[in-house]
Amino acid sequence: MKLDSMYQDVILDHYKHPHGRGLRDGDAEVHHVNPTCGDEITLRVKYDGSRIEDVSYEGQGCSISQASASVLNELLVGKDLAEAQKIQGVFLELMQSKGKLEPDDAMEEVLEDAVAFAGVSKYPARVKCALLSWMAWKDATAQALGADVEAAEAERKTA
Amino acid sequence: MTVAHQGLTGLLDTEALRKDFPILERTLHDGKKLVYLDNAATSQTPRQVIDVLSEYYEQHNANVHRGVHVLAEEATALYEGARDKVAEFINAPSRDEVIFTKNASESLNLVANMLGWADEPYRVDHETEIVITEMEHHSNIVPWQLLSQRTGAKLKWFGLTDDGRLDLSNIDEVITEKTKIVSFVLVSNILGTVNPVEAIVRRAQEVGALVLIDASQAAPHMPLDVQALQADFVAFTGHKMCGPTGIGVLWGRQELLEDLPPFLGGGEMIETVSMHSSTYAPAPHKFEAGTPPVAQAVGLGAAVDYLTSIGMDKIAQHEHAITEYAVKRFLEVPDLKIIGPATAEERGAAISFTLGDIHPHDVGQVLDEQGIAVRVGHHCARPVCLRYGIPATTRASFYLYSTPGEIDTLVEGLEHVRNFFG
C-alpha R_g of chain B: 22
- Report CB contact under 8 Å: B361, A129: yes
For B10-60, what is each residue's pLDDT tens digit? 999 999 999 999 999 999 988 999 999 999 999 999 999 999 999 999 999
Residue A1 buriedness (CB in 10 A; 0-12 / 13-18 / 19+): exposed
Q: Is residue A156 part of a domain?
A: no
The arithmetic mean of pLDDT across residues B267-280, rounded, is 92
Q: What is the mean pLDDT of chain B?
A: 96
- Say what the pLDDT of residue A39 is: 85
A69 touches chain B (CB under 8 A): no
Q: Is residue A5 part of a domain?
A: yes
**Res. B402: pLDDT tops 80:** yes
**Res. A4: pLDDT tops 80:** no
- The B residues from 4 to 63 touching A (CB cutoff 8 Å) are 29-30
Q: Residue A38 is nearest to which of B369, B385, B420, comparing CB atoms?
A: B385
Which DSSP letter does residue B253 get? -
Q: Is residue A10 part of a domain?
A: yes
Given pLDDT bands bounded at 50, 70 and 90, which one contains residue B305? very high
d(CA B37, CA B35): 6
Given pLDDT bands bounded at 50, 70 and 90, which one contains residue A1? very low
Q: Is B242 a known active-site residue?
A: no
> Best-predicted range by mean pLDDT among A63-67, B186-190, B377-381?
B186-190
d(CA B42, CA B36): 10
Q: Which is the catalytic residue, given B257, B376, B380, B410? A: B380
- Report CB contact under 8 Å: A38, B382: yes
- For the stretch B103-122, what's the b/e string if a residue is b when 16 or more beta carbons lie within 10 angstroms of its beta carbon? bbbbbbbbbbbbbbebeeeb
d(CA B338, CA B352): 6
- Rounded to two decimals, the pTM is 0.91
B69 touches chain A (CB under 8 A): no
Q: How many CA atoms lie within 13 A of B204 on its CB side?
A: 25
**Res. B71: pLDDT tops 90:** yes
Given pLDDT bands bounded at 50, 70 and 90, which one contains residue B2? low
Residue A95 sits in a domain of what CATH number? Answer: 3.90.1010.10
CB A94 within 8 A of CB A111: yes
Cis peptide bond prior to B292, omega within 30° of 0: no
d(CA B330, CA B337): 8
Q: Is residue A47 part of a domain?
A: yes
- Say what the pLDDT of residue B91 is: 98
Q: Is residue A159 part of a domain?
A: no
Tell me, what's the ipTM?
0.81
Q: In chain A, which residue's Cα lies nearest the Cα of B361? A: A62
- Say what the pLDDT of residue A6 is: 85
Q: What is the 3-state secondary structure (H, E, C) of B117-171?
A: HCCCCCCCCCCCEEEEECCCCHHHCHHHHHHHHHHCCEEEEECECCCCCECCCCH
Domain that holds residue A36: 1-150
Question: Per the structure, how many domains does chain A have?
Answer: 1
Cis peptide bond prior to B121, omega within 30° of 0: yes
CB contacts, 8 Å: B391 with chain A: 38-40, 60-61
- Report CB contact under 8 Å: A38, B366: no
For B315-358, what is each residue's pLDDT tens digit? 999 999 999 999 999 999 999 999 999 999 999 999 999 999 99
Q: Is residue A40 part of a domain?
A: yes
The arithmetic mean of pLDDT across residues A114-136, rounded, is 93
For B93-131, what is each residue's pLDDT tens digit? 999 999 999 999 999 999 999 999 999 999 999 999 999
SS3 label, residue A40: strand
Residue B50 buriedness (CB in 10 A; 0-12 / 13-18 / 19+): middle
- Report CB contact under 8 Å: B361, A37: yes
Report the relative pairing of strands B248-252 and B233-237 from DSSP bridges.
antiparallel
Helix locations, B213-293, DSSP H = 226-229, 254-259
CB B187 within 8 A of CB B214: no
**Res. A3: pLDDT tops 70:** no
Q: Residue A62 is nearest to which of B30, B362, B385, comparing CB atoms?
A: B362
